[in-house]
Chains A and B, each alone.
Chain A
Amino acid sequence: MKSAIKPGRFLILLVLCLLIIASGYWAFDSAADREEGIRRGLDIAGGLYVLMEAVETEGREVDEDTIDRAITIIRSRVDELGVAEPVIAPQGENRIRIELPELEDVEQAREIIGRTAMLEFVGPDGQVVVTGANLVQARAERQMEVSVNPFVSIEFDRTGAELFREATQEFIGQQIAIYLDDEKISEPVVRAVITDGRAIIEGDFDFEEAADLALLLRSGSLPVELRELESRLIGPTLGQRTEEIAVYAAGVGLALVLLFMIIYYRGAGVMAGVALIFYLSLVLWALNYLPTTLTLPGIAGLILSIGMAVDANVIIFERIKDELRSGRTMRSAIEGGFQRAFRAILDANITTLIVTVVLFVIASGPVRGFAVTLFIGIICSMFTAIVLTRLLMRLAFKAGIIRSGAYMGVKV
C-alpha cells in the first residue's frame, strides 16, 4: 500500500487534469471573444439603454395591445437605422425597454425611437382631413437648386387619396396645415385638386432631418405617447477597459487562490485547483451558451459563486482532515469526509439558491442579472465539488499521490 506512485493510474489522472485545463483555456478563449463570446450587458459593452413609459392621454388608453404595437413600430424604426442585435421589449405593464449596442449616431437613434410621429393634415376650419395612418410611402428628396429646401414626398393609400382629393377640392385657394405631433411644420396653399394621393411636406429642415422624418412616417406613428424614464449611454471603450482590468485582476486573484490551496492542502490542493478550473469553464460555457447577459452586478454574483466553489472544496478537505485526525485511513477519510461535507454544502447552497430564485422573480434589471449569474454559478459549483473533486481525490489516492495525512498537511 505504501509503495510509490502507480504509473498507470497516475497517467490517467494526469491526462484528465490536462484535458480539464485545456478545456478551461478553450472555454475562456471563446467566452472572451467580444463578438461571439458571452453577451455583455450595456454597462460593460457600451451602447444605449432607454426605458420609456407610455403616458395615457385623452382617447388613447394604454394596454397590452398598444404597447405591442408601439414595440413593433419602434423595431421597424430601429431596423431602418441598421443597429445590430437590438433589444426592444415590454417591461411591466406600460413600459418599453430598448437596448441598442454599437450605435453609429446616438442623437439620431434617440430622436427616432421615442418620437410619436403623428402626422395630421388640418383644413382651415380646424378639422383634420387626413392623417399619417393612411400613408403608404414617404421619401426624402432634394432639388438640384440649393435654394430649395429638401422635402419629404408622401403617398397616400386609396382611402387617404380619396380624403385628400375631397379636401383639396373643398379648400382650393386656401391653406391646409401639416402638423407633426401637434407642431405645425408647414402650411401650403392648395393650388389644384390633387387626385393621385401624392403630396410633399416642406419645412425648415436639412436633408438628414427630412430623411429622419420620412423614416418616421414610413414606420407609422406610435399609438401612444412615450416618456423617457431612464437613459444610459455608455461609450464602448469605457466598458471595455473595465472588463479588461476586471479579467486581469480576477486572474491574479484566482492565481493567488490556487497557490494558497496548493500550499495549504498540498496534493489535494492541486486537485481542488483543477476542479476550480473545471468549475470556471463550466460557468463560462453556461454563460456563453445560455441566453444570458453578463452585467456588472452579474460579476458580483460570479465572485460570490467562486467564493462558494472554493468554500465547498475547503469544507471537504477540512472534513477529510478531521477524519484523518480521528485515526481513519486515507481511503475511508476521503469517503467519510465527502459524506459529512455533502450535507453542509447542500444546505448552504440550496438556501442561497432560494434567494436567487426570489430575486429573479421579484426584482428586475440589474438585480435580476445578479440572480441569474449566481444561480448558474451555484449549480456549477455544487456539481463540481460533489462530483469532480470526489472523482479526482479518489483517482489521486489510487495513483498514490495522496497516500496519507502528510500529503494534505495533517501531522499525524
Chain B
Amino acid sequence: MINFIDNRRKAYLFSLILIAAGIISLAVFGLNLGIDFTGGTVFQLTLGEDFSMEEVDKALEPFEELEGAVIQVVKGRDLTGAPTDEGVIIRGPYMGEDRREAVMREFQDRFPRMDLDDSREESVGAVIGAELTRDAILALVIAIVAMIAYITYRFEFKFAVATITALLHNIVIVLGVFSILQLEINVPFVAAILTVFGYSVNDTIVIMDRIRENIKHRKKSEFAASVNQSINQNLMRSINTSLTTLFVLIALLFGFHYFIGSLDLIVFIVALILGVFVGTYSSIFIASPLWLNLQDYNLKLTRRKTA
C-alpha cells in the first residue's frame, strides 16, 4: 500500500505552487482570449494555390482595420496523408457585413481558385463574448451550489467541501496553464473546462464513496488509515479510467494536429488531456486527504467546545 496520507503535505505544497503560479499568471498576463470572447472577425481561407505572405498582405492592404491582424498559415492533410491546399487564418477586429464581403471579394479576385466551401468567415460582436463568459460562470456557480446540496444529502457537508475544493483546484490549474502558455481560447475551450469539471466530479465522488463505506465501522482515530486504504483500493480504477480516456483523447489530438492543423481544435483537446491528468491527481492527492483534514479540524473544534 502506498502511503498517500502521511505524504499529503507534499501534495498540498505542490498544488499550492501550481495554483500560485497559475493565479499570478492569470493576474499578470490574463488569458489569450479569442474572438468568441472579445468580439472580432476571423477569416479562414483555402486559397487553392501556392502563395506568399506578401500576396496576402497586398490583398489586405485596402482594409485599414486589418492592419494589426494576426495571420497564420494552415496546412492540412486528407485521409491518405497527402497535403491539402494551404490556407490562411486572419484574425482581426469586428467588421460589418459589407466590409467582410469586400475582403472576401478581394481574395476571390486575387486567388481565383480559392475554395469557398473549404473556407469560413466568422464575426462576433463584443456583447456576445461577454454574455458567454457571464452565462458560463453563472451556470458553474449554480451547478456548484446544487452539487454541494446533493453531496451533503448523500454523504455529508465535509465531503462536499472537499470535492468542490478539488474541482476549483483543477479548473484554476487548467486556466493557469493556458495563461502561462498564452494559447488562444474560444468557445470549444469553455466546453473543455466544463468537461474537466464533469470528469473531476465523477472521479472524486467514486473515491468518496469508498471512504464513506470504509469509515462506517471505524473509530474517528482510524480515519486516516481508512482514507489511505480507500485511495489504494481505488487506485487501479483511477489509473485504468484515465488511461482509457487518454487513449481516445490522444488519438483525437493526433488526428486534429496531423490532418486539420486547426489550433482551436488542438487547444480543445489539450485542455481535455490536461484536465484528465489534473482530475485524476486531485481526486487521489487532494480531495480525499483534504476531507481528512476537515474531519480532524472539526474534531478539534468539538473537543475545544467540550473542554
Using a CB–CB cutoff of 8 Å, the interface residues on chain A facing chain B are: 46, 51, 107, 110, 228-238, 241-242, 244-246, 248-250, 252-254, 256-257, 260-261, 264, 296-297, 300-301, 303-304, 306-308, 310-311, 314-315, 318, 322, 340, 343-345, 347-352, 354-356, 358-359, 362-367, 370, 374
Contact = CB atoms under 8 A, between A and B. Distances in A.
A360 to B, nearest CB: 9
B91 to A, nearest CB: 14
Interface string B208-242: 01100100000000000000000001101100110
Contacts of B254: 249
Across the A-B interface, the 10 shortest Cβ-Cβ residue pairs: A249-B255, A253-B248, A297-B191, A253-B251, A344-B209, A307-B245, A256-B247, A348-B205, A362-B139, A358-B143
B118 A254 contact: no
Contacts of A345: 206
A334 B120 CA distance: 53
A236 B143 CA distance: 36
Contacts of A238: 44, 46, 117-120
Interface in B137-176: 138-139, 142-143, 146-147, 150-151, 154-155
Contacts of A344: 205-206, 209-210
Nearest to B101: A107
A303 B195 contact: yes
B215 to A, nearest CB: 15
Interface in B93-115: 96-97, 100-101, 115
B301 interface: no
A322 B233 contact: yes
Contacts of A236: 117
A68 B1 CA distance: 66
Interface string B264-300: 0100100010001000000000000000000000000
Interface residues on B, range: 35 or more
B142 A235 contact: no
A235 B120 contact: yes
Nearest to A252: B251
Contact of B150 (A46, A300, A350, A362): A350
Nearest to B251: A253
B205 A245 contact: no
B263 interface: no
B127 A318 contact: no
Given A110-B101, A311-B203, 8 more contacts: A229-B128, A233-B122, A241-B260, A246-B255, A300-B268, A344-B210, A351-B147, A367-B136
Contacts, number: 231
Q: Chain B CB within 10 Å — which of A257, A303, A374 has the most?
A: A303
Contacts of A343: 209
Contact of B154 (A234, A303, A347): A347
A254 B247 CA distance: 7
A355 B143 CA distance: 5
A242 B248 CA distance: 16
Contact of A297 (B150, B187, B203, B240): B187
B198 interface: yes
Contacts of A351: 147, 150-151, 201-202, 205
B79 interface: yes
B249 interface: yes
B259 interface: yes
12 contacts: A229-B125, A232-B120, A233-B120, A238-B118, A248-B79, A249-B256, A296-B188, A297-B188, A300-B268, A311-B203, A363-B135, A366-B187
B124 interface: yes
Contacts of B136: 363, 367
B72 interface: no
Contacts of A340: 213
Nearest to B151: A351
Contact of A230 (B46, B123, B202, B251): B123
B132 interface: yes
A239 to B, nearest CB: 9
Nearest to A307: B245
B241 A314 contact: yes
Contacts of A359: 139, 143, 194
Given A235-B120, A244-B79, A300-B268, A355 B241 contact: no
A107 B105 CA distance: 11
B198 A374 contact: yes
B7 interface: no
Given A230-B124, A347-B209, A318 B150 contact: no
A362 B138 contact: yes
Contacts of B243: 260
Q: Chain A CB within 10 Å — which of B115, B127, B245, B262 has the most?
A: B245
Nearest to A111: B97
Contacts of B206: 311, 315, 344-345, 348
A327 to B, nearest CB: 16
Nearest to A344: B209
Contacts of A350: 150
Contact of B121 (A51, A233, A370): A233
B220 to A, nearest CB: 23
A367 B252 contact: no
B202 A367 contact: no
B191 A355 contact: no
Given A310-B241, A352-B198, A355-B143, A303 B97 contact: no
A342 B155 CA distance: 15
Contacts of B248: 250, 253-254, 256-257, 303, 306-307
A364 B202 CA distance: 24
